[in-house]
Structures are given as structure tokens and as C-alpha cells.
Amino acid sequence: MLISLPSVLLLSAVLFAIGTWGVLARHNLIVVLMAVELQLNAVNVALAGFSRHFAGGGAAGGLEGGGPTLLLASGGQVLVLVSMAVAACEVAVGLAILIALFRWRQSVMSPDMAELRG
Amino acid sequence: MSWFSWSDMWVLAPVAIVALGGAVALLIEALLPRAAGRTSLTFAGVGTLLLGGFATVLAWAEPGVQVHGSLVTGPFAVFLGLVVLGGTALSVLYAEGYDRAMGFDVGEYHGLKLLAAAGMLFLVAANDLVTLFIAFELMSLPVYALVAADRRRREASEGAMKYFVLGAFASAVLLYGFALLYGATGTIYLHAMPAAAGAPLLKLAALALVLVGAAFKVGAVPFHAWIPDAYQGAPASVTGFMAVAVKAAAFAVLVRLLLASGLLGKAGMDHMVVTNVLWVLALVTLIVGNVLALAQTNLKRLLAYSGIAHTGYALLGVVAAMARPEAGLAALLYYLAAYTAMTLGAFAVLVLLATRGRELGEIEELAGLGRERPLVALGMTVCLVSLLGVPPTAGFIGKLWLFQAALEAGFTGLVVVAALATIVSIYYYLYPVVVMYTGTARQPVETFAAARLVLALAAGATLLGGMFPGGLYDYALRGVQLLLGAA
């Protein structure tokens, strides 16, 4: 079954919007971290969709030759893999900061974090 | 074509040196006993950065697209690479005495600074979206941890959390922009993008997202909310680093992606939309940064808002570049270098006045510094006057060129606002100077050698850059011309 590029992009946009809403509206910082993850994964969907589109429909299309040619044809897919690794690193740092914060405040809710005034 | 070649390794050497130095510094801190000596770690860190700087000059001087298209070397990368490495080296140098004065025993942060510097160095030369994203995150992640480094201070983790949430959000938006840019052009290579035919609407959406992501990192209004809190929460020795190096690298991303869009110096609907958005961004940032700085009584927060205001001036160069790419971008590069020197000088004073576990807080606490420590007060005055933009300092020349570029590009109204904003800033930059030279110190001022050295270097660079700006500007201009030619 062929899934068209616009529907992939629509899915990606909807996921990204949900993630954005989560970051902006939710007060629980753990949920906020999850929402950021959702945003990154929404981008991954778009990247994979574009990559397949450029490779000519099939995942293996245009990938012969290896080396830089492979990267050229599947740059989007490479970026997906990289972004998954980066997302994991980001969460590790974020949770560490959250734990440091929790030790001071005994809370993970953002309204409790208003001692500094922008 | 083979995967491995020694010439690729040579081009990657500057980044590898700094990243390895950072990893080794982290290992030393983890494995050796604490008494192993903070001082030696500091000098090793500065040495690594100097070595990285030499490698940058040698390996990146030749303009061209390298490493299978992943990096673009040349004067642009060398210029900004040296700015971020120099800023990092100075901030590593002054951290040593700060640690002793504050009883701050977290040596990991040298390693983290070096890792972030490696990310920035990678960032200014990156030429494909994958490298750009990795470099951007390698720069960002250590800095989040650095803000939270002083766990004894209540405000540190709060500032770090705010920075992290907004920073991660900005990264996600930026990555979405990358995805759409890839979708619009069909390539991940920045130098190939302008030539690629693409869906204009997709490209515009991509640029909008990239602009928002970059605006967060450079601290443009209305994406500046994290800056004062993160700056205040971070140890003073880290704040200076964030203020200069991260900002310079983030501007590099903005410039590279605008170049990749192929809109600079063109005309048409897309060009007009992007120009107007940048124009509004610059205008709002100039006004809000300068006006809010007026209300600050805490020196660190004052410098934070001053940093926002200077983002506004730098954005003037970006706006000008939309019509006249060469003049606008060259002025921007020179300004980033000048901003690095003068801001680090001001932060060096903040760092060297930290005593007995307490940082300098209110501006009033500077009272009597002029009598107690005339040279420190003089250095601080030079830096503040340069931030204000008085000749013969680098800050003056930088502003002059930015204003000139914007005028030539036809943005007269924006320049008038920027000039008025500068007049407003006279108050908040000269107030600390007045305080320093009046009143008496409440307690004897203790300072330490490393931060005095940083202050002397920064103030000296500010004056020299103001008196002999030609060479620096020409080099920046050549870098911009080469990038424009390649794009």
C-alpha cells in the first residue's frame, strides 16, 4: 500500500502541534519532557516521509553505490537516526536537571518554579 | 570514493582536539582524586583550546567544501571558530579563581565547556543538516548542565530547567525547520540548497521555523524569557560563556540557513516576507532589551538584558544582509567578535569580585572599586563604554558598521530606533561606572590573578579592535564573499 506524502506530512504536523501544545500548556515538567519528545518524533515522521519520497517510493530505491551517494539519497533517514540518539541525550540531561530541581522544591510542577522573575 | 582519507581527518582535527580535550577533562575529574589540582586542569583546558585554535587556522584556512560535503571551511568558519574558542578559553581561564572564592568544587564544568566549544566549532563550519543538528545539540546539552552546575544554589536548578525546556523546544522547532528545508530542496547540503528548485511555500514555512529556533538561542524578543533567569541561576563563570560563545554560534546557524535559502540580496514575495519578519524581530528586541535593562539593579541581570539589546543590534546586520549581504554579514561578524571581548570583560569583573562563597549581586556593591582597585575599575569602564558604543572602542566601530550597512540597505527607520535605543542605554551602562568611582567600599576587595588577566585581555582587545578594526573587517568580508560565491 502506498501512503502519499501529504498524508505523512499531515500526521507529522498534527503530532508536532500536540507536542507544542503540551510544552506550552502543561504544568507537569515530566509531561513537558514527553511533549518535547513527541515534537522530535513528529519531525522524524516528516523526515522519513520526505526521504522515501526522494528515494522514489521504495525504501531501497536509489541507494546503490554506497558511500556519499547513500547519504545523498537517504539524508533524511540518517537525520532520523541521529535525532533519535540526540533525543535520548536530551532527555538524560533534562531528567538530571529535573531531579536536581526536585531536591530543592519537592515538586515537578512548573508553577512552583517562579522564584526568578523573567 | 573511499570513506576514509587523511585529508578529511586533517579538516576534522580542530573539532576532534577540542572534543577529546573535553572528554579527557571529564575523565580526569571522575577518576583522579579531587586534590589533583584545579589549576592544572584549567591550564590544560586553555591549552587545548589554544591548540584547537591553531588547528582551526591551519586546517580551515583553505576555502572549500570538505569531508564529503559535511563541512565548509574558509575565512567565515575560521573567524567565528576563533571567536567561540577565544571566548571559551577566557571563560575557562577565569573560572579557576572563581571556584576557590566560591568554594565551588565541581571540576566537571571545564570538560563540559570544552565539549560545548567543540559543538560550536563544528557548528560554524557545518554544511549539511545532519552535521548542523549534531553540532547544535553538542553545543546546547552541556550548557544546560553547566547552568545547573552549582547545586548548592536554589536558583541554579530553576534557571537550568527553564533554559532546558525552552531550549529543547527550540531544538525541536529548528529540527522541524530542517525537515521542511530538506523536503523543499531535496538535499541536506546547505551549499546545494539555493540552486535546488523547490516548493516556495514549503521553503517559507521551513525558514519561519528555523528563524524561531535560532531566535530562541540568540535571545531575540519575544523568545528571550529564559535569558535573565538562566543567566542569574548559572555560576558567573558560566554566564559569560553563555552570553558570548553560544550567541555567536547561534548567529552562525541563522546566517548559514539564510544563505542556504538563497534569498539574500534577491527580491520577490518570499524575500519581502522574511525581511519584514526579521525587521520586526530586530525592532522589538532593540526596544524591549534596552528598556527592560533600565529597571535592573542586579549586575548579572543587567548584563543579561544588555545581551538581549545587543542581539537586537546584531539582528540589524542580518536585516541589512537581506538587501546587501556582503556589508550586512561582515558588519555582523565584526560585531560578534567585538561583543565577545567587551562582554567577557564585564563578566570577568563579576567573576573576580566573588568572595567568600558569594557572588556580586547589586550594582551598588561596586561602590568604591575605583579607589580600591583602580585598574579593575578602568578595565570595567572600558568594557561598559564599549558596550555603550563610544569611540575609540570596538563596540563603537561595530555599531557604526551595522548602522551603515542598514542605512545603505535602506532601513532608515530601524537605524533611527537603534540610535535612540543607544541613547537610552547611556543610563544603564554609565550608572555602574558612576557607582564605581563614588562612594566607599564596604569591605576590602579581594581579586585573583586569572580573572584580572582575562579582564586585561578583554579590555585590551576591545581597545585594539576599536583602533585597528580594518584587518578584522576585511577578513570577515572575505569570508562572507566566499560563502556567497559558493552559495
Q: What is the mean pLDDT of chain B?
A: 89
CB contact under 8 A, A36 and B165: yes
CB contact under 8 A, B137 and A36: no
Q: Is the pLDDT of residue B102 over 90?
A: no
Give the whole-angstrom CA distance, residue A107 versus residue A81.
34
Percentage of residues in chain A having pLDDT higher than 70: 81
Give the whole-angstrom CA distance, residue B309 versus residue B422.
9
Q: Is the pLDDT of residue B473 over 60?
A: yes
What is the pLDDT, as a whole number, of residue B421? 94
Instruction: Kindly give the residue spans of alpha helices, DSSP state H, lying in B226-298.
Output: 226-233, 236-241, 247-261, 269-294
3-state secondary structure of B46: helix
In chain B, what residues touch A42 (CB-CB under 8 Å)? Answer: 176
What is the pLDDT, as a whole number, of residue B150? 84
Q: Is the pLDDT of residue A60 over 70?
A: no
Tens digits of residue pLDDT in B108-124? 788 899 999 999 999 99
CB contact under 8 A, B179 and A43: yes
Among B5, B112, B169, B201, the strongest candidate for a mutation testing the A interface, having the largest count of A CBs within 10 A, is: B169
In chain A, what residues touch B151 (CB-CB under 8 Å)? Answer: 100, 103
* CB crowding B400-413: b at 16 or more within 10 Å, else e: ebbbebbeebebee
Give the whole-angstrom CA distance, residue B308 versus residue B224.
7
Bridge partners of B355? B358
Tens digits of residue pLDDT in B189-242? 898 888 886 788 888 999 999 999 999 999 898 888 889 999 988 988 899 999
What is the pLDDT, as a whole number, of residue B35? 55
In chain A, what residues touch B3 (CB-CB under 8 Å)? Answer: 67
What is the pLDDT, as a whole number, of residue B370? 86
Among A11, A15, A47, the strongest candidate for a mutation testing the B interface, having the largest count of B CBs within 10 A, is: A47
CB contact under 8 A, B154 and A39: no
Neighbours of A82 (CB within 10 A): 18
Tens digits of residue pLDDT in B141-176? 999 999 998 888 888 888 999 999 999 999 999 999
In chain A, what residues touch B185 (CB-CB under 8 Å)? Answer: none
What is the pLDDT, as a whole number, of residue B36? 55
What is the pLDDT, as a whole number, of residue A1? 60
What is the pLDDT, as a whole number, of residue B199? 80
Q: Is the pLDDT of residue B276 over 90?
A: yes
Closest CB to B165 among A32, A54, A83: A32
In chain A, what residues touch B68 (CB-CB under 8 Å)? Answer: 67-68, 71
CB contact under 8 A, A101 and B186: no
What is the pLDDT, as a whole number, of residue B7? 87
Tens digits of residue pLDDT in B303-347? 999 999 999 999 999 999 999 999 999 999 999 999 999 999 999
Q: Supply the pTM of this predicted model.
A: 0.92
What is the pLDDT, as a whole number, of residue B52? 95
What is the pLDDT, as a whole number, of residue A72? 53
3-state secondary structure of B355: strand
Nearest-neighbour CA in chain B from A101: distance (Å): 5
Assess contact for B80 and B124: CB atoms under 8 A: yes
Instruction: Kindly give the residue spans of alpha helices, DSSP state H, lying in B295-366.
Output: 299-323, 325-352
CB contact under 8 A, A75 and B180: no
**pLDDT tier for residue B56 given thresholds of 50, 70 and 90:** very high
> What is the Cα A7 distance to its own chain's centre?
18
Among B132, B157, B229, B300, the strongest candidate for a mutation testing the A interface, having the largest count of A CBs within 10 A, is: B157
CB contact under 8 A, A115 and B157: no
Give the whole-angstrom CA distance, residue B169 versus residue B166.
5
In chain B, what residues touch A43 (CB-CB under 8 Å)? Answer: 172, 175-176, 178-179
3-state secondary structure of B360: coil
Q: Is the pLDDT of residue A70 over 70?
A: no
What is the pLDDT, as a whole number, of residue A117? 63
* Of residues B31 and B457, more confidently modeled: B457
Where in chain A are the domains? 5-109
Phi, psi of B178 (to 5 degrees): -60, -45
Tens digits of residue pLDDT in B403-460? 999 999 999 999 999 999 999 999 999 999 999 998 787 676 777 888 889 999 999 9
**pLDDT tier for residue A118 given thresholds of 50, 70 and 90:** low
In chain B, what residues touch A33 (CB-CB under 8 Å)? Answer: 168
Q: Is the pLDDT of residue B105 over 80?
A: no
What is the pLDDT, as a whole number, of residue A56? 63
For B122-168, give the DSSP string.
HHHHB-BHHHHHHHHHHHHHHHHHHHT--TTSHHHHHHHHHHHHHHH
Residues near B438 by beta carbon (within 8 Å), at least 6 away in sequence? B367, B370
Among A20, A45, A90, the strongest candidate for a mutation testing the B interface, having the largest count of B CBs within 10 A, is: A90
Nearest-neighbour CA in chain A from B378: distance (Å): 31
In chain B, what residues touch A98 (CB-CB under 8 Å)? Answer: 161
ipTM confidence score = 0.89
CATH of A5-109, one of 3.40.50.620, 1.10.287.3510, 3.40.50.1240, 3.90.1490.10: 1.10.287.3510
Task: Flag the least confident range among A33-42, B80-89, B189-198, B472-481.
Answer: B189-198
**pLDDT tier for residue B486 given thresholds of 50, 70 and 90:** low
Q: What is the mean pLDDT of chain A?
A: 82
Nearest-neighbour CA in chain B from A70: distance (Å): 11
Closest CB to B172 among A36, A50, A98: A36
Closest CB to A116 among B3, B144, B232: B232
Task: Flag the least confident range among A56-60, B354-358, B467-471.
Answer: A56-60
* Of residues B487 and A88, more confidently modeled: A88
Angle, vertex CA B107, rays to CA B51 and CA B23, nearest 5: 45
Bridge partners of B362? B298
What is the pLDDT, as a whole number, of residue B198? 73
What is the pLDDT, as a whole number, of residue B470? 87
Among B3, B146, B154, B165, the strongest candidate for a mutation testing the A interface, having the largest count of A CBs within 10 A, is: B165
Percentage of residues in chain B having pLDDT higher than 70: 97
Residues near A68 by beta carbon (within 8 Å), at least 6 away in sequence? B1, B68, B69
Q: At what angle do helices B75-102 and B325-352 cross, to 10 degrees?
A: 10
CB contact under 8 A, B133 and A79: yes
CB contact under 8 A, A100 and B129: no
**Chain B residue whose CA is closest to A17:** B173
What is the pLDDT, as a whole number, of residue B487? 53
Nearest-neighbour CA in chain A from B179: distance (Å): 5
Nearest-neighbour CA in chain B from A13: distance (Å): 9
